[in-house]
Amino acid sequence: MCLWFKRVVFFMCLTTVLSTGWAQGPVGTLNGTILDPTGAVVPGATVVAVNNATGVESKTTSTSAGAYTLPYLPAGTYTVRASAPNFRTSTAENVILRVAQDLTLNINLQVGAVSQQVTVSDTPPLLETGTAEIGRYISVEEFKSWPIIIDDGQRQIQNFIFSSLPGTSGGTFQGSINGGQQYSHEILIEGIPVGRSDLSGGNNNEFSPSAEAVGEFKLQTGAMGAQYNGGQTAVANFNIKSGTNDLHGSAFYYIQNEALNALDLQSKTAGNKKAKFRENNWGYAVGGPVYIPKIYNGRKKTFWFTNYEKTHLTTLAPNGFATLPTKDFKNGDFSRLLDPSFTGVNGQFVNGQLETSGSQLQRCDTDANGNPINCVNVFDALGRPVIFGQIYDPSTTRNVGTSVVRNAFGFDPVTGLPIPGQANIIPQSAWDPVAKNIVQNVGIVDPTLDKMVRNVTRIGSSPFFDLHIFGLKVDHNISEKHRLSGYYNRSYRVRNNNGGSPYLPLPGPATESWQKQVTAGNMLRLSLSSTLTPTLLNRVAAGYNRFLNQNGADPSTVNQDLAQKIGLQNLPGTMFPVIKFSGKEYQGGTVKKFGVGFVDASPNGSYVYTDDLTSIHGKHSFRFGYGYSRYFYNDRSLSDAGTFNFNPQQTDLPGFLNDTGHAFASFLLGAPRSAGHGVTELTQGFRQPAHALYAMDDWKVTPKLTVNAGLRWEIIPPFYEVTGRMSQVDLNTPNPGADNRPGALVFASRSSRFNNTYWREFGPRLGLAYQFNNKLVVRAGYAMTNTPPIRNDWGYGGFTFGFNGSVNVKAGGSPTKFIDDPAIYLSQPFPSLKAPLPDTDPSSANYNDVTTTARDANRPGYVQNWNFTIQYQLPRDTVLEAAYVGNKGTRLWGGTFACPYYIICGFNFSEYNALPSSLLSMGEILNDPVSLHPQFTPFSNFDDSLTVAQAMRPYPQYFGVDEAFPYNSNSNYNSLQVTVTRHITKGLGFLAAYTWSKAIGAVDSSGPGAYYTSTVQDYYNRKLERSVTSFNFPQDFKLTWVYETPVGKGKRFDLGWGNRIVGGWQLAAIHNYHSGDPIPIFQTGVNVPAGIGFGIRPDQVSSSLTLGGAPGRVDVNTGTPYLNPDAFAISPQTGNGTPLRVGTAPRFLPNVRGPHHMDETFRMSKRFPLYKERENTFFQLGMTMTNPFNRTGRYIGDYTVGDADFGKVFAGGGGRIIQLDARIEF
């Protein structure tokens, strides 16, 4: 039996003997006041709630204040009876209790005998009168009826949160709720958090139950009770179906096929046929009472529910274009870089230079309008013309006076003029042997288009995909006072993934970046609820989450000695190396990387124990609780075969970085700008515990007024490694390898930790709800929620230095000390570690990227949420709600550093080794080696081949210093949210949701997704990054509706045999219309000195940012100009691309957006009854369509200043997609 299973069995057994309870999750609470005909309270009344599906009864007695509370009731439909001596028994029928709902049901008793009965209501309450939080419910019937397309292998259970509910934006993979950071809201399955230790929340695409198993869900926002942590701004609470007294079930089959779909615009324009798209999804769900003939009858006692789902997908659908080196380039022929019609560089004026491919550079003055005048030709120190696009030979680098020169390939070394037939052609005799092996023996896929960039069609990142999900739930009523529930779910997903640029073939040669990913998830839940006395109740629950992301290089390239076969030396044969390219677009900067570079199989997850006790006294319903979580991450990965970074600098003319050289040419010469190699020799197990205590009082001040007051206290101990094998850089410890400058490697032990326990994480909650009358309720509240104390990253690799290690080489380290020299040649032996592992030398991490964490860094961020809500009940079971929802985030996650090889991470708020941007005014000297400026030498044995900028960093012995827990960002959100809701009643239901909002922040993501917007210019001036967020859409309208023809037995129209034709039809749709995307502005080719920001933005030089309104019809091939290119300019920089200051453009433009979005999804289905006597037994055929009008989307294709397509709007996007389905329900 495997270890994890033993642990789970033990912890489940332990849970069953505990006598405490858990926080409300998949259950609800029914409460209210018992009144007599005069309005006086009735103490001592007996209240019984009977679950209509199972027949299980729950009882309590009203207090001296006439109040009653029935907590821990499973979501469902109830019949509620209240009785007292000398009063008739009053019955409320069809009382619908939602998941996690506090439902207030006041019952009036009439004078008479107890044996007499009167029905006081058969209409469920529609208004929320007992809590200040904002709750959005989706019922079982709505979940089944609303249109949903298979996405990422299944019907995503969070789909409706982002497609239908107010205050939400994005999607199920990376969405935001009420302005919270992406990956931040908490997801509960059966009341227990999903609890991955690499994501704080928000995403369960890869770790999810089947949609067929979900009973209903509730999105909770605003002033939530103290029993909820809430991530930042929301809790998504999902309830799993249970068995009932009758056998019920379903079987389903969903299919998508390209034959049903419309051709997308991109394929139509290119004259291509429909790409292959075949998806088949099928499964079943069934539940009922446990029944063993003549042995056990579990009706009203023991119930079971199980489900299974399988998906197989094959798709080759296009998804834009990627860039591969042209056939000429792969033969060493770069002569077309001298052709302006090929490069698109024809007369551009940048940084005082007039540039045209193949022509001599000119430096110019400018007139009053910024136009070039007085232009003069540019020559090198030998008097040779400098031609834009030339490729230079790094082996010819030499000094001429104070200048550095090189000879260009195919140009006369004396005159500098092109040699006919040879210009810009690198002879194979000059190629590096390793590069030659990669090109000629391993192979690089040829582009399909004769273009320099965007010359091969991308396809979706998961062309082949398989999914299996199995779930089992058992509910058992031990006695009238004790109920037990258990749930197990396993998901298993296999796909080909691609974090680089997916193009065919698959997996193709090792130079492609296709990955093989297997994600397996196990989820366990167990709960026990008990009624100790009529006024004292508790519930215990425990959960286990284990998520394995087995991801990395395709197995055909793993442990095949590929590094040795291509000629790399002193690198392991675990996988193919990674080859990356950077630079301007015309210098190969957009060529997609070769190789994957990692193989990882690191399981992570959590153990969760929660406890909730309810005590009812008079008008008060007190809740006291305790929760314990232990997150785990077991780091299991292989050593890589090296990562080599190529840019134009190794083949440029020094001083002309943005004008000469090409990254792929540097590759052919085997001349990387930098390189690194990670060495992994052991696996480590990291753990993060957390405790929570809370108290909550729901005070029924009067039958109309409820006050919710509570406090949550979380205690955060430090994380640790199970055997103490953990290290970090302590920024105060003297470093013996750097003249005892502060900052040295230190090591933990089994008993020591790097952080202190944080004791002051308090979260107050206060709310009130006042019911003016039966139709109007006003609610207001405040809640402070905290973020989970997890790494929010792909592992704890930064804490392994000394046990694992890395070797890095950078340009300028050659004996000649030229800064433009390669870091190493591919065919040279790669350097080894300085010492064998484990290496406990405090200076062994010098000249590496390192991780640190401060003693007080164990203090997570928090968000203050507030809301003011008015609910009004309209006729026909409809509710109008208007809510002001706002929040303020403090100490939020500020960035991520330890990214996988397949993601280029940004410089962000986690960087402690930063320099202020004011130093940029020093210019080129920052990128010079210290050997040229010895006055900047920071300590005696400093490597003087490193740059002046590196020498000036706070900790010059290190490159990057990453704070592992960068809680240093902030946010603000304000919104008006208006909804009109009618849950499905008599065949009609709808939800109209309008949101006006503004979300402001500096970092948009609380997880690894932070790389999407990590473009911090100045670590010390964080206000520069504060802008509208990437997920802020000021105007957002969503309409979701379902309509069933009112024809059939027991309905408005009974047409007899005609019912079979006209009856059973159902129509449903989701409409989404919102503002355009926020617009970032970029620039490329900036040679940023080490330690000063990342992604220096351009300048905004005009307030006229557009050339008019967003265009209607657009040019499909060339795009239609929208952004004004004259409103932006490359920020000042030297001729070698070194910025002289940061740009003035904001992270996102505040008042200009891309084209607005319009999306629709329609569904049509027909039910065919199978038995006249059983209305709920039927066969159903359905069709769901996305983009039913085959509308073409519009988007800005390029945000980079200076690119030919900058600011142009293109038309594209997928065509109409049709999904067919068949179902049987009984």
At 499, list the tokens. 């974090």
Contacts of 1 by beta carbon, 8 Å cutoff, 6+ apart: none
Could you write out the DSSP letters of every residue in 351-404? TTEEEETTSB-EEEEE-TTS-EEEEEE-B-TTS-B-BTT--EEEEEEEEETTEE
Q: What is the pLDDT of residue 794?
A: 59
Residues 593-623: tens digit of each pLDDT: 999 988 888 899 999 999 999 999 999 999 9
Q: How far apart are CA 570 and CA 566, in angstroms?
A: 12
Average pLDDT value for the chain:
89
The residue whose two tokens read 């000094």 is 399
At 329, list the tokens. 């380039």
At 550, list the tokens. 């087995």
Could you write out the DSSP letters of every residue in 741-757? EEEEEEE--SS--SSPP
Q: How far apart are CA 989 and CA 1193, in angstroms?
A: 29
Q: What is the pLDDT of residue 8?
A: 43
Q: How far apart are CA 235 and CA 254, in angstroms?
A: 29
Buried b (16+ CB within 10 A) or exposed e, 28-65: bbbbbbbbbeeeebbeebbbbbbbbbbebebbbbbbeb
Q: Mean pLDDT over residues 411-418, rounded? A: 96
Q: How far is CA 508 from the centre of its chain?
A: 29
Residue among 385, 397, 485 at smallest CA distance from 56 = 485
pLDDT confidence band for 631 (50 / 70 / 90): very high
Q: What is the pLDDT of residue 303?
A: 96
Contacts of 1204 by beta carbon, 8 Å cutoff, 6+ apart: 344, 1198
Whether the CB-CB separation of 612 and 22 falls below 8 Å is answered with yes
pLDDT confidence band for 269 (50 / 70 / 90): confident
Q: In sequence order, what are the beta bridge partners of 886?
A: 866, 974
Q: Is the pLDDT of residue 14 over 50?
A: no
Q: Is the pLDDT of residue 182 over 70?
A: yes
User: Which residue type is seen at 823?
Assistant: A
Residues 525-570: tens digit of each pLDDT: 999 999 999 999 999 999 999 999 888 888 999 999 999 999 999 9
Whether the CB-CB separation of 390 and 411 falls below 8 Å is answered with yes
CB neighbours of residue 489 within 10 Å: 24
Angle 1092-1095-1096 (CA atoms, 0-180°, nearest 5)?
Answer: 70
Could you write out the DSSP letters of every residue in 1044-1055? E--BSTTSSB--
Q: Mean pLDDT over residues 166-194, rounded? A: 89
Whether the CB-CB separation of 1008 and 794 falls below 8 Å is answered with yes
Whether the CB-CB separation of 708 and 698 falls below 8 Å is answered with yes
Whether the CB-CB separation of 322 and 314 falls below 8 Å is answered with no
Give Cα separations from 474 to 187, 189, 301, 364, 1088 (angstroms): 22, 15, 11, 79, 60
Return the HEC string of 650-684.
HHCCCCCCCCCCCHHHHHHCCCCCEEEEEECCCCE
Q: Mean pLDDT over residues 882-905, rounded? A: 68
H or E element in which residue 1040 lies: strand 1035-1044
Q: How far apart are CA 322 and CA 460, in angstroms?
A: 12
CB neighbours of residue 204 within 10 Å: 24
Whether the CB-CB separation of 730 and 744 falls below 8 Å is answered with yes
Q: Is the pLDDT of residue 1192 over 90?
A: no
Per-range mean pLDDT, top range of 182-196, 351-365, 1094-1108: 351-365
- Predicted TM-score of the model (pTM): 0.88
Residues 203-244: tens digit of each pLDDT: 777 888 999 999 888 999 999 999 998 789 999 999 999 999
pLDDT confidence band for 506 (50 / 70 / 90): confident
The residue whose two tokens read 């490159």 is 959
Residues 110-169: tens digit of each pLDDT: 998 877 778 776 667 889 999 999 999 988 889 889 999 998 888 888 989 999 999 999
Q: How far apart are CA 418 and CA 408, in angstroms?
A: 9
**Intra-chain end-to-end CA distance of the chain, in Å:** 38
Fill in the DSSP letter of residue 1219.
Answer: E
Whether the CB-CB separation of 624 and 713 falls below 8 Å is answered with no
Whether the CB-CB separation of 1038 and 166 falls below 8 Å is answered with yes
Q: Is the pLDDT of residue 878 over 90?
A: yes
Whether the CB-CB separation of 961 and 911 falls below 8 Å is answered with yes
Whether the CB-CB separation of 388 and 357 falls below 8 Å is answered with yes
Cα maximum dimension of the chain:
117
CB neighbours of residue 1087 within 10 Å: 19
Residue among 572, 631, 1011, 915 at smallest CA distance from 791 = 631
At 1192, list the tokens. 């073409």
- 1022: phi then psi, degrees, rounded to nearest 5: -70, -15
Q: Mean pLDDT over residues 1197-1209, rounded? A: 87
User: Which residue type is seen at 879?
Assistant: V
* DSSP strands (E only) in 10-116: 27-35, 46-51, 57-61, 67-74, 76-83, 89-97, 102-104, 107-108
Q: What is the pLDDT of residue 525?
A: 97
160 SS3 class: helix
Q: How far apart are CA 1215 and CA 1059, in angstroms?
A: 35
Q: Is the pLDDT of residue 170 over 90?
A: no
pLDDT confidence band for 83 (50 / 70 / 90): very high
Q: Is the pLDDT of residue 903 over 50?
A: no
Is the previous residue joined to 1098 through a cis bond, with omega within 30 degrees of 0? no
Q: How far apart are CA 772 and CA 872, in angstroms?
A: 10
> Which of 660-669, 785-794, 907-916 shows the lowest per-residue confidence on average (mean pLDDT)?
785-794
Give Cα separations from 594 to 254, 422, 434, 508 (angstroms): 37, 28, 14, 11
Q: How far apart are CA 174 and CA 196, in angstroms?
A: 15
Q: Is the pLDDT of residue 9 over 50?
A: no
Contacts of 960 by beta carbon, 8 Å cutoff, 6+ apart: 849, 850, 897, 911, 913
Give rounded-to-5 percent helix, strand, coil for the chain.
Answer: 10, 45, 45
Residues 17-68: tens digit of each pLDDT: 333 332 334 789 999 999 999 989 999 999 999 999 999 999 999 999 999 9
- The radius of gyration of the chain's CA atoms, rounded to the nearest angstrom, is 33
Q: Mean pLDDT over residues 1194-1210, rounded? A: 86
Q: What is the pLDDT of residue 24?
A: 39
Q: Mean pLDDT over residues 820-839, rounded? A: 92
Whether the CB-CB separation of 527 and 539 falls below 8 Å is answered with yes
* DSSP strands (E only) in 875-1008: 878-893, 961-963, 967-985, 988-1001
Order across the sheet with 1120-1121: list the strands. Answer: 1120-1121, 1208-1212, 1193-1196
Whether the CB-CB separation of 969 and 983 falls below 8 Å is answered with no
Q: How far apart are CA 1123 and CA 1125, in angstroms?
A: 6
For a pLDDT cut of 90, what percent of the chain falls above it? Answer: 63
Q: How far apart are CA 141 and CA 174, in angstroms?
A: 27
Q: How far apart are CA 152 and CA 516, in angstroms?
A: 16
592 or 26: which leads in pLDDT? 592
Residues 770-815: tens digit of each pLDDT: 999 999 999 999 999 988 877 656 567 788 899 998 898 887 656 6
Q: Mean pLDDT over residues 374-397, rounded? A: 96
> Which of 734-748, 997-1011, 1154-1168 shows the lowest per-residue confidence on average (mean pLDDT)?
997-1011
Q: Mean pLDDT over residues 919-943, rounded? A: 92
pLDDT confidence band for 897 (50 / 70 / 90): very low
Going from the N-terminus, what domains does the chain have, and what CATH number goes with each? 3-121 (2.60.40.1120)
pLDDT confidence band for 255 (50 / 70 / 90): very high
591 or 905: which leads in pLDDT? 591
Residues 937-957: tens digit of each pLDDT: 999 999 988 889 999 999 999
988-1001 vs 1035-1044, strand pairing mode:
antiparallel
